[in-house]
Structure 1
Amino acid sequence: MSQPPTILADPAWRPSPRARLLWALQVLAGWVIPVVALAIWAAVDSARRGSALLSLAIAVVLAVLTAVVVPIWRYSVHRWEVTEEAVYTRVGWLTQESRVAPISRVQTVDTQRGPLERMLGLATVTVTTASSAGAVHISALDLPVAEQTVQRLTEIAAQHRGDAT
C-alpha cells in the first residue's frame, strides 16, 4: 500500500512590510538609465520628439506599473520559517522557489545589509549549508528580527553538532 504524498506546509512568516518599499526602489533603480536616456533623446532630437516622448511615456508607465505590481506580488509569495529541524523559505514572483535546509547541514549564518536595506532598517540572513543548491537567503527582515534569527539559528545549530558535510 502506497503512502500519500507528503505535502509541505507554507513557511509561516513574511518579510518586513517595508520589503515592498525596498523592492519598489530596486525596480525603480533599474528604470533610471532607460528613462534618463529617453528624456535626453526627447530633449535633443527635435525631428523625432513625438516618438521620443511616446517612448518616454511608455517607459514611465511601465516603471511605475512594475514598481507597484512586483513588490506586491513578491510580498504575497515570500515566506520563511526557522524550526528546530530546518530553515524553510519560499521566494520569487515570476519563478518561485521553495527550499528546506536541514539544521544539521547549516555551516554558517550571516547577515547582509546593502545601502537601501540600511536606509529602511532591513537585513538579509544568509544560511550557508552543505548543499549544492547554495545558500538559503531570508531577505528583507526587520533588523531586530534578522539579529534574533541569526542568534536562534546559531543556538539550534550548536545543539545539532554534526559535521554538516
Structure 2
Amino acid sequence: MTREPSGPPRNRFDRPAVGWWRARLALLSAAAIAILVLHAVVPGLFKLGGHWLFVPAAAVAVLAVPTVLLLPKWWFEAHRWEVTDVAVHVRTGYFWQRSKMAPLSRIQSVDTVRGPLRKRFGLATVTVTTAAVKGSLKIEGLQEERATAVADEITRASGAGS
C-alpha cells in the first residue's frame, strides 16, 4: 500500500494473463464453431440444421483469429489495479472503462481463486467482497504467489481476517 487513491490504478496484471485471456477466447470460439458445425452436420438437431450453418461457423472462425490474437494484448494495456492506504481500486475495459473501488473499511472477505485454466498459466484471481450491494471486486490475472501476497495484504489492512 502506497498512497491515497487519485488517478488511475498503477499496477498491470501479470503478463501470463494475456495467454489466459487468449485461451478463454479460443475455447469460447471453438465451442461456438463446434455447435454450429454439429447443427449443420446432424439434420434435425434441435429443429435447426442444414448446410447453411457452415457459413456462420466460418464467419465465427474468421473473426475469432484476430480477436484471440489482438484483444488480450489490448486488455493488458488497459486493465489496472492497485491497493492503497484506504481502498482497493480496479479498472477494466478499453472503450467502456469500468473503475471499481472498495474502501478497506467496507471489506468483508478476501478470497483467492485458482481455476483449472488459470492454474495452467500459473495465475489466480483475488476476489474482494464488500458490504456494498454491487457485489465483489476482482483482481484477475495475477501470478499465484503475487495473488496470495496481495490477498494477505488486503486482509491485514482491512481487518477482514479478524
- Which residue in 2 is equivalent to 1:71? 72
1:84 is displaced (CA, Å) by 1.7
Cα distance in 2 for partners of 1:34, 1:89 equals: 30
1:83 is displaced (CA, Å) by 1.4
Is 1:132 equivalent to 2:133 in the alignment? yes
Consecutive aligned runs of 4 or more in structure 1 exceeding 6 Å deviation = 41-45
Cα distance in 2 for partners of 1:133, 1:43 equals: 44
The answer as to whether partners of 1:70 and 1:93 remain within 8 angstroms in 2 is no
Q: Secondary structure at the match of 1:131?
A: coil
CA change 1:40–1:102 in 2 (3 A) is: closer
1:145 is displaced (CA, Å) by 0.6
Tell me which moved more, 135-144 or 58-67.
58-67
**TM-score by structure 2 length?**
0.81
CA change 1:42–1:86 in 2 (3 A) is: same
Percent identity, aligned pairs only, is 36
1:132 is displaced (CA, Å) by 1.8
1:138 is displaced (CA, Å) by 0.4
1:44 is displaced (CA, Å) by 7.7
The answer as to whether partners of 1:105 and 1:130 remain within 8 angstroms in 2 is yes
Q: Deviations over 1:36-83 (max 9, x none)?
A: 2454577789xx86x666544432221111112221121111100011
Tell me which moved more, 27-36 or 9-18.
27-36
Q: Give the structure with higher Rg (CA).
A: 1
Cα RMSD of the aligned pairs, angstroms, is 2.5
| Gap regions ≥5 residues in structure 2 | 44-49
Cα distance in 1 for partners of 2:106, 2:73 equals: 32
- Which residue in 2 is equivalent to 1:118? 119
- Which residue in 1 is equivalent to 2:46? none
- Which residue in 2 is equivalent to 1:109? 110
Amino acid at match of 2:32: P
The answer as to whether partners of 1:86 and 1:103 remain within 8 angstroms in 2 is yes
- Which residue in 1 is equivalent to 2:14? 16
Amino acid at match of 2:24: Q
1:101 is displaced (CA, Å) by 1.1
| Gap regions ≥5 residues in structure 1 | 1-6
Amino acid at match of 1:156: A
Cα distance in 2 for partners of 1:63, 1:79 equals: 25
- Which residue in 1 is equivalent to 2:25? 27
Cα distance in 2 for partners of 1:56, 1:155 equals: 50
Cα distance in 2 for partners of 1:55, 1:100 equals: 40
- Give matches, 1:48-59, under 5 Å: 55-59=56-60
1:114 is displaced (CA, Å) by 1.2
Q: Secondary structure at the match of 2:65?
A: helix
Q: Deviations over 1:105-139 (max 9, x none)?
A: 11110011111101111000011111122111100
The answer as to whether partners of 1:108 and 1:127 remain within 8 angstroms in 2 is yes
**TM-score by structure 1 length?**
0.79
